[in-house]
Amino acid sequence: MKTKVYNHKGKESSTVDLPENIFGLNWNADLVHQVFESMRSNARTNTAHTKDRSEVRGGGRKPWRQKGTGQARHGSKRSPLWAGGGITFGPRNERNYDKKINKKMRTKALFVALSQKLRDGQILFVDGFDKVSGKTKDMKETLAGFENVAGFETINTKKHNNIFMTSPDVSDELKNGVKNFAHVTLYDVKNLNVIDVMNFRYLVISNPEKTVEFLQTKLTNK
């Protein structure tokens, strides 16, 4: 399966052969959803914490005697019935949100998402950014050049999570070039996962030959 590769000006420069077992899989919503939600759960930071009746202050003395006052019986101000008392079934920071994800499932979900993204025409393969100067001005011209590719006229729209850019070789110059663009996120291809593919509208893959080689290693390292 061949697809076009474009240069920094948005003009076709070559083609790349994409393997069917990575970019030609059928959509599997159940698998993608399971892996997506499991990864989100694993990344969850458990900070919310409430105190139960054994942890709040006070309550050492019985508020009033058991009988004769006409009021309900109470033994401690720590009771959840009291204002300032312990919380019943509140969030606790010892709760574990981790979910196990098999490597095969994680890899398959990524490839399924990439395949669907390619069918939707939202993956742009470009030449490597080897000669990036690191200047915001030059990167702005590069992003504007991508608008010349058919189907990517809105790729430079300044909306959150619009472009996810990945490369096998993320240089400091490339990082400096994109850091001032709020609608562009850059990561090494080693960190590419199903959440990034699904959350971003467009996926820009630099140096597609090396990227495909790396993705193929996921099939052998199981």
Cα dihedral 6, 198, 165, 24 in deg (nearest 10):
-40
Q: Which segments of the chain belong to CATH 3.40.1370.10?
A: 2-44+97-220
Homologous superfamily, domain 2-44+97-220: Ribosomal protein L4/L1 (3.40.1370.10)
CA neighbor of 48 nearest in space, from 94, 79, 85, 80: 94
Half-sphere exposure of 151 (CA within 13 A, CB side): 13
pLDDT in tens, 61-102: 899 999 999 999 999 999 999 999 999 999 999 888 899 999
Tokens 């199903």 locate to 194
Residue 186 in tokens: 């850059």
Cα dihedral 85, 91, 92, 95 in deg (nearest 10):
160
**Residues 6 or more apart from 95 whose CB is under 8 A from it?**
46
Lowest mean pLDDT among 48-52, 125-129, 140-144: 125-129
Residue 83 in tokens: 């204002």
The pLDDT of residue 79 is 93
Residue 119 in tokens: 């069918």
Q: Is the pLDDT of residue 160 over 80?
A: yes
Residue type, 150: A
**Residues 6 or more apart from 59 whose CB is under 8 A from it?**
53, 76, 77, 78, 79, 85
pLDDT in tens, 22-61: 999 999 999 999 999 999 999 988 889 999 999 999 878 8
Query: What average pLDDT does this structure show over 119-146?
Result: 86
Confidence of residue 124 (pLDDT cuts 50, 70, 90): very high
Query: What average pLDDT does this structure show over 123-148?
Result: 85
- Identify any residues that bridge with 205 across adjacent strands, giving them in sequence order: 125, 166
